[in-house]
Amino acid sequence: MASTFDDPECYEAGAIMGGIYGEGIIALAGAFDPSLADRLHAEIMAIFAEVKDVPGGVLPRGPERWYVEIQPERLSDFATIAAHPWFIAVCTAVLGQDYRIIEVGFDIPFPGAADQPWHRDFAVPEATTAGRRLNSLAFNLTTVDTRPEHGPFEIAPGTQWDRFEGCAKGMFPPPDLWPRYAARAVKKLPRRGDIAARSALTVHRGTANVSAEPRPVLVIGVDTPDATNGAHHDLQATAAYLASLPPQVRDHLPARVVERLEPVIQHHVIEGLLAATY
């Protein structure tokens, strides 16, 4: 489900809940001026060049595909994104008034990135298996106008409720289910200035980038207070930066306060994403 920023229905809880609990993904086209995406692109590529040779600074997510976790204040427009009325409306509708931003990072499939296996981002929590409740969201912002040759994100709508037991890390469905996801697959072609929100449990994959350009995507992870995804991330901020934020952002950013920003060393290698093709 995609809406435009001037459609009042896209801010309503019913429409938001229907999309996230139904297809598992919603989007707002034209939420930001494309110039914001251009700034993100420049900052992301500069940060990647800075940390790519630091042990643990980048993590592989498949051939020529990398993930980098970063500190929010490294991005000049983080507060603008987190204070956007649609971002707030989606978080509040799905996760409640006390939602927490627990992860900021970016994914870059470079030329030569291959199809990923179908997967979800982590195992289904008890809140979902027993309570039929989604307690986390992932927001994505592209920094390029995505074309089919860029290796777009592909998602199988409605599969956040699928159960597949005994699979690797609770994330990777067995091969006999792959045809189900291929049959439901929708490739997403967002443009600069668009933002999407999804359940990270909805089965998805990155596809092969056969272009000559990288396709960076900003990732912001948000949890309910009872979710545990924050334990896997090192969200940090200086006191001065936190003080500079508007309350509607600062109150939802449980960052570790540091005197100066420290390198984010990542350890969460997902072996199932490292094979060449699926």
**Can you give the CATH number for the domain in which 212 is found?**
2.60.120.620
What CA–CA distance (Å, rounded) separates 86 from 5?
A: 8
Residue 272 has what pLDDT?
Answer: 79
User: What SS3 state is found at 44?
Assistant: helix
Return the pLDDT at 277.
45
Q: Which amino acid is at 131?
A: G
- Strand-pairing partners, residue 100, are 223
Number of domains in the chain: 1
**How far is it, in rounded angstroms, from Cα 95 to Cα 35?**
30
DSSP state of 255: P
pLDDT of residue 36: 98
Within a domain: 231 = yes
Per the rule left: phi > 0, alpha: psi between -120 and 50, beta: everything else, 49 is alpha
Ranges of the chain whose pLDDT falls below 70 = 1-6, 168, 267-269, 275-278
Measured distance CA(57)–CA(264) in Å, rounded: 6
Does residue 205 lie in a domain region? Answer: yes
Helices H / strands E in the chain, number of each? 8, 13
Helices (H), 22-73: 34-51
Kindly report the number of other CB atoms within 10 A of residue 243's CB atom.
9
176 assigned to some structural domain: yes
Q: What does the radius of gyration of the chain's CA atoms come to, in whole angstroms?
A: 18
Structure tokens belonging to residue 136 = 């986390």
Cite the DSSP H helix spans in 189-274: 239-244, 247-250
Q: What is the pLDDT of residue 134?
A: 98
pLDDT of residue 55: 87
Domain that holds residue 196: 2-266
pLDDT in tens, 119-138: 999 999 999 999 999 999 99
| Residue 262: burial class (beta carbons within 10 Å; 0-12, 13-18, 19+) | exposed
Give the span between the Cα atoms of 230 and 232, in whole angstroms. 5
For residue 138, give the nearest of 236, 24, 56, 33 by alpha carbon: 24
Read off the tokens for 25.
Answer: 């993904």
At 232, list the tokens.
């896997």
CB atoms within 10 A of CB 77: 16
Chain centre distance of CA 35 = 20
Closest CA to 69 of 189, 218, 194, 176: 218
Q: Take residue 252 and report the two structure tokens written for it.
A: 């939802």
pLDDT in tens, 177-223: 999 999 999 999 999 999 999 999 999 999 999 999 999 999 999 99
Residue by residue, DSSP assigns 106-157 as: EEEE-TTPPPPPSB-SSPPPHHHHTT----EEEEEEESS---GGG--EEE-T
pTM of the predicted model as reported, rounded to 2 decimal places: 0.95
